[in-house]
Structure 1
């Protein structure tokens, strides 16, 4: 998609439509590691002909929903002791909303299976680090008029919320736009109930680059390896697994699993891990890491409500030799993943937090491990139920930020919006040569299923 196809026509800011006053909210141990990530990006696109009416409804609804989700209208700051926090007051600009035209592009064009380069210009804040939330809105929205509908591109500061909170906000915004006077599930904003340790980080908030007007900027963080070598050539692709394909994968993994069957997530994860390892052509003695960003709301003690607003995820790692993974049946990978996930209980979370707090390390988004497969998002998120009053989305995608070799995003499959089925869309980013091999792997694709 060439730049010339997307033309910015307007830029405004939306604030909560009620006076809230000064609010401050300390970021906690679950939030802080993501300061060095980039803004999370989501793109949803819908059919419709009344673009101006849609934009007006979205802006009005945003003003209402931000009363509850006011943190998204604030900015990053530090208190007098150097502890990071979200700050809000009525003088702040609020959420940035950009309007744009791309009338040569239709919703069908955005359903392509190739990756996010196709729609990079439909989502704001490409390559913007979360630290820049000190002078930039914590939520940026771009509303683009398409040939036959609207694209809603959102960039959300990952230091203040995870995937569960993102989709809680999106569904609440849609609820208001669909005619509700209030949202059915208000966000739980007391982060310190999950963790109340004050951690001071030696990170300097970047200055406000007023000279930059195009929304693009350099990452203010130093390189994690210190060497400015060009990275590998990466490519993204969406692989669509139908209900029957998912059932086939589960059946294969569960052939000899005993009394406790592997879940859809465990089965599909093992399938992806195994075939990405084959595609990478690793040596038997090479290590490969599987990483899942797991929701800890039900794992912490005391449990936190589903409506907890913030980051309440931790990366869970497991590692094995490539030869061992491939020499065994698919059950081996699934069992390895299940063991890592099940062992990450309240005690393990507490130990991880204490270890991190004693020697805080700010990770770069790509530090997920050697020969890694890292899974984010979840097919549990009801993304196709985000209806702003003009029907369900035609498609939902992640943007280009926070992608690296081996990053995987899982979403409900597009078919789900029509049939209520269990299909899953798998977004994968890999080095070029590995992606070419994966695309030709009939066993991975379950050709004929």
Structure 2
């Protein structure tokens, strides 16, 4: 069954004191480098920085840990130097990543929160209590024009270390984020060099020059709209290997008659979440509900790109049905909708989407995923619990408070490994309370 993390007060806060701030640059001379942002990157300029938090036990040598992390960062940035640069525009208004050796580099803050332990944070259901452990809350990616593209905060806890990172989402996606994190950890663990350097030539996948004249408000919500935002809550539901296998078996027990292939683990878990969130929202049968997944296109584009491609190479795949159809049919009905949408998103569909966007560029806001949506980001394929800097695996890996809206779901590899998966869900408070009581969703006996 899925286990729920112990409920704690949503207004609990961690007292964090920032004790210092430095900048870290690549350890060797790189010179001036420029790389234009491409069609896969540009829609995310109005998202916030993408935040990740890793919690580790042990802090006996915190100062030494900080220096070790900075030393490793200098080495890894020799390959991932774009993260040490800034956003810029060329003379025609085309956005690009710019790097030169005179730039400040990555912002690294040191902090102390010695009144709270790792266990206190790993049982926390939401992100409010650890908000101050991650930099750049509510900072738009567009601000990368005058801010570092990566900011890191290293916080000494009562019995551990928190590594909070904020990545500019306009220059990289989840695959690139975790490629960087694992490479950084490998260098700190004693690797002589990065096993798989990043593939930095993003124009190899798309070379269309899109000129944008962005005049965004400082806050995407600051547009004069007086609409009261719904109260949101977050929770992590941990699905064991056994629970995942049961979900997959149930979805595949009543396959559609059209001869489609068996549903994958992702498709099975996705429809499980979609159906039960839809029920928890108490939608009318005729209400539409949207499922969105941010799909990795590295192997879908023509020509295919290497896994090490550094940048954004994702596209949102949308599918929609009526709540009554989704809930009233067996799980295979919704799984089939998801499966078909994913399979249809081939190189031709990607090319068509790019051409449509280039002819009429639309800068998305993070909450544009659709009505009554369930939007899945991150992936259990990312080996987040193998990010070991030399003192053990993380106790917990979480997303920060940025880019959250009603229906946002992050999937992570479960800490217990194997096929276990952590499901981090943000929902309107009443719907989340309903989901917490849904024994079928929790796979409770």
What TM-score does the superposition give when structure 2 sets the normalisation length?
Answer: 0.95
Query: Whole-Å Cα distance in 1 between the matches of residues 189 and 339 of structure 2?
Result: 39
Match of 1:161 in 2: 172
1:432 aligns with 2:422: no
* Contact 1:162–1:310 (CA under 8 A) maintained in structure 2: yes
Please tell me whether residue 192 in structure 1 is matched to residue 203 in structure 2: yes
**What's the offset of the Cα at 1:228?**
2.9
- Tell me, what secondary structure is at the counterpart of 2:129? helix
Identify if the C-alpha distance between structure 1 residues 196 and 259 changes in structure 2 by more than 3 Å, giving closer, same or farther. closer
Q: CA deviation at 1:3?
A: 6.0
TM alignment of 1:283-362, pairs within 5 A:
283-362=284-363
Task: Look up the match of 1:129.
Answer: 140
- Residue 183 of structure 1, aligned match among 194, 218, 228: 194
Tell me if 1:40 matches 2:50.
yes
TM-score, normalised with respect to structure 1: 0.94
Q: Deviations over 1:344-372 (max 9, x none)?
A: 00000000000000000001100000000
Q: How does 1:166-245 map to 2 (within 5 A)?
A: 166-204=177-215, 220=218, 222-223=220-221, 227-245=225-243
CA shift at 1:285, angstroms? 0.5
Q: CA deviation at 1:115?
A: 1.1
CA–CA distance in structure 2, aligned partners of residues 233 and 24 of structure 1 = 42
Aligned residues: 431
Give 1:220 shift. Answer: 1.7
Other structure's SS at 1:34 match: helix
**Alignment partners' CA distance in 2, 1:259 and 1:375:** 23
Deviation at residue 2 of structure 1 after TM alignment: 6.0
Is the 1:283–1:323 contact (alpha carbons within 8 Å) kept by the matching residues of 2?
A: yes
1:14 deviates by 0.2
Give the drift of 1:262: 0.7
Give distance in 1, aligned partners of 2:13 and 2:119. 19
Q: How does 1:357-436 map to 2 (within 5 A)?
A: 357-416=358-417, 421-436=418-433
Q: What secondary structure is seen at the aligned counterpart in 1 of 2:171?
A: coil
How far apart in 2 are the matches of 1:114 and 1:342? 34
Q: Does 1:24 align with 2:34?
A: yes
Gaps of 5+ in 1: 207-218
CA RMSD of aligned residues (A): 1.3
- Does the CA-based 8 Å contact 1:115-1:237 persist in structure 2? yes
Q: Check 1:193–1:226 CA distance in 2 against 1; reply closer, same or farther (3 A cut).
A: farther
Partners of 1:69 and 1:228 lie apart in 2 by 42
SS class of match (2:130): helix
Partners in 2 of 1:395 and 1:177 — Cα distance? 19
Listed as ranges, the matches of 1:73-84 within 5 Å are 73-84=84-95
SS at match of 2:143: helix
1:6 alignment counterpart: 16
Q: Distance in 1 between matches of 2:223 and 2:339?
A: 32
TM-superposed CA distance for 1:118, in Å, is: 1.8
Counterparts of 2:288 and 2:62 in 1: how far apart (Å)?
Answer: 51
Q: 2:46·2:220 contact (CA, 8 Å) conserved in 1?
A: no
Cα distance in 1 for residues equivalent to 2:222 and 2:351: 26
| Contact 1:171-1:386 at 8 Å conserved across structures | yes
Matching residue of 2:261: 260
Report the alpha carbon displacement of residue 221 of structure 1 after superposing the two structures with TM.
5.0
| Shift, 1:306, TM fit | 0.2
1:113 Cα deviation after fit: 4.6
Q: 1:117 is paired with a residue of what secondary structure?
A: coil
Between the aligned partners of 2:276 and 2:314, the Cα distance in structure 1 is: 26
2:162 counterpart of 1:151:
yes
